[in-house]
Structure 1
Amino acid sequence: MTVTGTAPGLVHLPGGTFLMGSDAHYPEEAPTHRVRVDAFSIEAVPVTNARFAEFVRATGHVTVAERPVDPTDFPGAPAQNLVPGSLVFTPTTGPVDLRHLSQWWTWTPGASWSAPEGPGSSVKRRPDHPVVHVAHEDARAFVDWAGLDLPTEAEWEYAARGGLEGMAFTWGDEARPGGRIMANTWDGPDFPWRSTKESGYTRTSPVGSFPPNGFGLHDMAGNVWEWTDDWWTSRHPEDAASPCCVPDNPRGGDVEASYDARQPQFRVGRKVIKGGSHLCADSYCLRYRPAARRPQMVDTGMSHVGFRCVRHQAPGA
């Protein structure tokens, strides 16, 4: 397979058929099934704070996290939460019940892409870190400005696999081949309160700090979860009965089906995010893998969610 750079930061992928999903990990990743994607180009790294700042300067865009909050959109929410802000990871003081993630996520007034930990924090010394606290709308506004697009889930996973068929990680089947740390994920078993800091990072890292995959793409595992443009589905479709029936350029479900049934008061669509983040711990969230997928409400940014762009090849090009 030939992989070439088509523009600064873009890597051209020829497309093809690959095995998507996993039957060996989390139920939402199953079943494995073959899909086909057309040629496209994808950025080698996620969008950084510096690039997002350029976009904001050029357009005056105000992110969702920075806008006034309409109380009618959040029935029953505490008044103190009805201010601009976002969810920030906050380490606990000791071991906690991992079934309740609210223990390490804090609604932080004033947290945004330019103040990732809230008032007093800044990205000035983190220009090369991935931008975070971006809702899907913010990512969409950026790619529209840049003349690019967001990847589909199938495109993202095809790119993340780097040409490796059926492997657990973007680099193979071992989490740490030869003991080498391959991605910015949580170090050690004591999530969410104590990291061993083996990787050198406890939050985001500069993009490209860890080895690329077989396509030359960095951070397709760990660092930040990345938005795709597909609506969430709770599982994949069954594999095609015949090679001639492999779906081309598949897309997710529809917005209605993506709603969270556990929160019927919030009729907010959820898109698929991919890749895991610096908070993925083997003892809690083994999701820094190509097949891993999670739903994210389109109006919600967090301190571990970012994105990267793609360019779709024009028909006949």
Structure 2
Amino acid sequence: MKMLIMGKIKTVTYVMLLAFVFGCSPSSQESSDTEIEKVLLDSKRNLVFVEGGEFWLGDVGNESGAPFTPILDNNKPPKLVEIDSFSILAKEVTWGEFLTYLHDVGRAEEYTIENGFSRAVRLPIVANNDPDSPNYKDKPARSPNFHEAENYCSWLAEKTGHPYALPSEAQWEFAARNRGQSVPFATDTGELDIDVYLQRSPVDPMHPVSGNALVHSSNQVERRPAGSYPPSPLGLHDMTGSVAEWTRDWFHPGFDHLSSDNPVAVEAPSSAPSKRSVRDLAGYGDHSGGLATVYARHGEDVDSPDQGFRCVVNHPESIN
């Protein structure tokens, strides 16, 4: 009997240890009230207020008039638009935050190998407490599709009563450019100093941060924890580098379709009926031809699992 009891104790201890390592409850995949409350508190505490204004959306060119993105035509000519004030998350949504949401709404199990989500072979939709893992809870999440990124922001809105949403493309660029300044990179200096982190072999997560952005191929799923690099003058992290980010706009080749007042593309064009606009192509590792600048954009199918995201609060005053 004593040996049986000791065996049970060891089994329980092992299960609890696994739960700690993989960041979930030993008895369920549900998020606790404490976990949810922390995500909601952080989602409010980490907001940066962005005072609205007028700016030229698109590639305005450098001081000599040359475009920042000479190999792209889909961000030219720039369009003069007016943006209302809003708030935006200073950091990309993390694996820990994203899995708290997926567990709360009961959809984490939909994105497993067993349920046919093939991307999970390369990058599972999980969160853990292992800094060596690409799924470490503080590293930027890769949403399995556009809809879950959008739903996460809607979940925040439902839980908090504040109007969270994915940023419009114009909001994203306005914030990345420090309220519309003609800067090429959303870094602390406006210039790019690439961290050598993923250029080393083997990769050491404990290796000190260098530079002011991580620009590396998406073939390497590893990234630094969100917020590892110095913030932009506006107080935002990783809007150049880390991971590419969803916006809520349908992708159009250019800006002629947009209004001049708080523009957002709410209808898909017939030429790209399933693509949403993605920003921060430096998050893919793209760097040549100005693709790492804040002006670069492209359309990505809504089922693509490669993008991260952050949310905005569409309210003309700070809610902090």
Per the normalisation by structure 2, the TM-score is 0.66
Determine if contact 1:150/1:308 at 8 Å carries over to the other structure.
Answer: yes
SS of structure 2 residue aligned to 1:206: coil
SS of structure 1 residue aligned to 2:281: coil
Q: Which residue of 2 aligns with 1:114?
A: 126
In the aligned structure 2, how far is the partner of 1:112 from the partner of 1:202? 11
SS of structure 1 residue aligned to 2:299: strand
Determine if the alignment matches structure 1 residue 176 to structure 2 residue 186: no
Supply the AA of the counterpart residue of 2:192: A
Aligned partner (choices 247, 260, 272) of residue 277 of structure 2 = 272
Q: Which residue of 2 aligns with 1:230?
A: 249
Determine if contact 2:54/2:80 at 8 Å carries over to the other structure.
Answer: yes
Determine if contact 1:85/1:112 at 8 Å carries over to the other structure.
Answer: no
Aligned partner (choices 56, 69, 93) of residue 19 of structure 1 = 56
1:258 Cα deviation (Å)?
5.1
Q: Structure 1 170/123 Cα, relative in aligned 2: closer, same or farther at 3 Å? A: closer
Determine if the alignment matches structure 1 residue 293 to structure 2 residue 297: yes
Higher helix share: 2
After superposition, residues 44-123 of structure 1 pair within 5 angstroms as 44-62=90-108, 65-66=111-112, 83-86=116-119, 109=121, 111-114=123-126
1:192-233 CA-partner distances (Å, limit 9, x unpaired): 99xxxxxxx973111111111121010111101111100000
In the aligned structure 2, how far is the partner of 1:39 from the partner of 1:134? 30
Q: Which residue of 1 aligns with 2:261?
A: 248
Q: How many residues align?
A: 244
In the aligned structure 1, how far is the partner of 2:125 from the partner of 2:44? 26
For structure 1, the residue ranges without an aligned partner over 5 or more in a row are 70-82, 87-107, 194-200, 240-245, 260-267
CA RMSD, Structure 1 to Structure 2 (Å) = 3.5
SS of structure 1 residue aligned to 2:293: coil
1:109 Cα deviation (Å)?
4.1
1:281 Cα deviation (Å)?
4.1
The worse-fitting range, judged by mean Cα deviation, of 163-172 and 143-152 is 163-172
Determine if contact 1:205/1:223 at 8 Å carries over to the other structure.
Answer: yes
SS of structure 2 residue aligned to 1:165: coil
After superposition, residues 142-153 of structure 1 pair within 5 angstroms as 142-147=152-157, 148-153=164-169
After superposition, residues 126-275 of structure 1 pair within 5 angstroms as 126-147=136-157, 148-163=164-179, 165-171=181-187, 174-176=191-193, 181-186=211-216, 203-237=222-256, 247-252=260-265, 254-257=267-270, 259=272, 269-275=274-280
Q: Which residue of 2 aligns with 1:30?
A: 76
Determine if contact 2:43/2:89 at 8 Å carries over to the other structure.
Answer: no
SS of structure 2 residue aligned to 1:184: coil
Q: Which residue of 1 aligns with 2:37?
A: none
Q: Structure 1 128/41 Cα, relative in aligned 2: closer, same or farther at 3 Å? A: same
Percentage identity across paired residues of the two chains: 27
- Say which one has the larger Rg: 2
Determine if contact 2:99/2:108 at 8 Å carries over to the other structure.
Answer: no
SS of structure 1 residue aligned to 2:87: strand
1:255 Cα deviation (Å)?
1.8
- Segments of 4+ in structure 1 off by > 6 A? none
Determine if contact 2:51/2:179 at 8 Å carries over to the other structure.
Answer: no
SS of structure 2 residue aligned to 1:28: coil
Q: Which residue of 2 aligns with 1:39?
A: 85
1:134 Cα deviation (Å)?
2.7
1:176 Cα deviation (Å)?
3.4
Q: Structure 1 181/207 Cα, relative in aligned 2: closer, same or farther at 3 Å? A: same
1:114 Cα deviation (Å)?
1.8
Q: Structure 1 229/182 Cα, relative in aligned 2: closer, same or farther at 3 Å? A: same
In the aligned structure 1, how far is the partner of 2:291 from the partner of 2:223? 16
SS of structure 1 residue aligned to 2:270: helix
1:51 Cα deviation (Å)?
0.5
Q: Structure 1 253/235 Cα, relative in aligned 2: closer, same or farther at 3 Å? A: farther
1:58-77 CA-partner distances (Å, limit 9, x unpaired): 211248754888xxxxxxxx
In the aligned structure 2, how far is the partner of 1:221 from the partner of 1:63? 32
Q: Structure 1 291/314 Cα, relative in aligned 2: closer, same or farther at 3 Å? A: same
For structure 2, the residue ranges without an aligned partner over 5 or more in a row are 1-41, 62-66, 158-163, 197-209
Supply the AA of the counterpart residue of 1:169: F
SS of structure 2 residue aligned to 1:257: coil
